[in-house]
């Protein structure tokens, strides 16, 4: 997916506006140019501030679907992360009091999460592996980490019948419920 010139210009203007506002509130930020802006972010995150790289990335799918909200709220949210980092240092919480203070100066609500529809975004596929115990009809869908541990000799047991789980040689990437197991 590519970004058209008009949307790129709008995003750059929003970033410049928030950075200029930040420099007015915190004069020490004048020594930094406006952060770089990228549109490569995938998944369900709307934006990301890369503190050590002085750049911000936006999710192009969410930007196109929620242009006004992303430009007004998400860009300000990410600039607030950079400001809090440069003004208060690296030992602050990502959405702590310092970040909330900057958000307040920007006139934005200090929300850590967005509420955009993410059904059109690209998400990582999570593979689940089928395991069974001696209980009738019980299937346990284990993630890659537990599957790998079992392959290395770790044993997981059913909490009901206390027998070791064994592979059914099936896997899927669909969302599945978890069953109760314990590490032996």
C-alpha distances (whole Å) from 153 to each of 3, 80, 177 are 49, 47, 24
Evaluate if residue 9 carries a pLDDT over 80: yes
CB-based contact 76:56 (threshold 8 Å) = no
What phi and psi, each to the nearest 5 degrees, are found at residue 142?
-100, 145
Q: Is residue 24 annotated as part of the catalytic site, yes or no?
A: no
Evaluate if residue 180 carries a pLDDT over 70: no
- Under the banding of pLDDT at 50, 70 and 90, the label for residue 58 is very high
Q: What's the pTM?
A: 0.70
Q: 53, 78, 98, 174: which is the annotated catalytic residue?
A: 78
Other C-beta atoms closer than 10 Å to the C-beta of 16 total 15
- Under the banding of pLDDT at 50, 70 and 90, the label for residue 172 is confident
- Under the banding of pLDDT at 50, 70 and 90, the label for residue 122 is confident
């Amino acid at each position: 997916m590519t970004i058209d010139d008009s949307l790129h210009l709008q995003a750059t203007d929003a970033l410049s506006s928030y950075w200029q506002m930040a420099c007015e509130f915190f004069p020490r930020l004048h020594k930094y140019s406006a952060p770089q802006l990228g549109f490569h972010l995938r998944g369900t995150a709307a934006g990301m501030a890369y503190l050590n790289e002085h750049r911000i990335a936006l999710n192009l799918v969410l930007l196109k679907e929620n242009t006004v909200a992303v430009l007004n709220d998400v860009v300000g949210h990410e600039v607030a992360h950079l400001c809090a980092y440069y003004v208060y240092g690296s030992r602050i919480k990502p959405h702590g009091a310092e970040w909330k203070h900057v958000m307040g100066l920007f006139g934005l609500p200090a929300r850590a999460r967005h509420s955009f529809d993410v059904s059109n975004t690209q998400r990582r596929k999570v593979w689940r592996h089928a395991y069974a115990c001696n209980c009738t009809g019980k299937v346990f869908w284990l993630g890659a980490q537990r599957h790998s541990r079992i392959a290395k000799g770790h044993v997981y047991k059913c909490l009901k019948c206390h027998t070791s789980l064994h592979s059914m040689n099936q896997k899927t990437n669909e969302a599945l419920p978890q069953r109760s197991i314990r590490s032996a």
